[in-house]
Amino acid sequence: MFKKILIGFVFLLIGLSYFYFNQSNKKMNPLSDLNTFHQQLSHALNLAKLDSSSHQIRNYDQEVEFFIDQCQVILSTQKDPYRQIASLQQFFKTAKIKGLKPVFVDLKLSHPYATLKNN
C-alpha cells in the first residue's frame, strides 16, 4: 500500500514539474511579434516605394489593413511581410501595364485574390 502511494506521489511530482517547466517556455508577450511585423511591414513598404495610409490592425483575424492609392490591401500578420509586399508590388505593376485599376487586394489567404476595375 505504501509503495502505491509513493509511486503515485512521484508521478504527481513529475507531472507538476513537467507542467511548470512547459509553461515557462511559452512566449509571454505576443505583442512583441506584432510590433516586429509592423516594423518589417513599414520597411518593406519603404523599400518598394509604396505609399500607404495608416495601418489598421485587426488582432482577432491576424491581419493588417491599409490603403494604397484608394486600393484596400489586407495582409496576414502570420506571413512574411517582405514577401507579401513583393507580391503586392508585382501585382500593381502588372495591373498598371494592363491598364486596370486595383480596388481590393487580399493576400492573407492561401489563395490570394484581387478585385480590379477598368479605367
CATH number for the domain including 48? Answer: 3.40.50.11690
Does the residue 7 lie in any domain? Answer: no
Does the residue 10 lie in any domain? Answer: no
**DSSP 8-state class, residue 116:** E
Does the residue 23 lie in any domain? Answer: no
Task: For residue 50, give its domain range.
Answer: 30-118
Tell me how far CA of residue 15 lies from CA of 9, 21, 22, 24, 75, in angstroms: 10, 10, 10, 14, 41
Does the residue 5 lie in any domain? Answer: no
| pLDDT level of residue 5 (50, 70, 90 thresholds) | confident
pLDDT digits (tens, 9 = 90+) for 63-85: 888 888 889 999 998 889 999 99
| pLDDT level of residue 32 (50, 70, 90 thresholds) | low
Q: What is the pLDDT of residue 20?
A: 67
Does the residue 38 lie in any domain? Answer: yes
Using the CB atoms, write b or e for 96-114: b if 16+ within 10 Å: eeeeeebeebbbbeeebeb
Among the ranges 29-43, 44-58, 77-91, which has the highest mean pLDDT value?
77-91
Non-local (6+) Cβ contacts of 102 within 8 A are 71, 91, 92, 95, 114, 115, 116, 117
Does the residue 41 lie in any domain? Answer: yes
Lowest mean pLDDT among 8-17, 37-46, 68-77: 8-17
Task: Provide mean pLDDT across the span 46-59.
Answer: 77
Does the residue 72 lie in any domain? Answer: yes
Does the residue 6 lie in any domain? Answer: no
Q: Considering its fold, how many domains does the chain have in total?
A: 1
Flag whether pLDDT at 30 surpasses 60: no
Question: 3-state SS of 21-45?
Answer: HHHHCCCCCHHHHHHHHHHHHHHHH
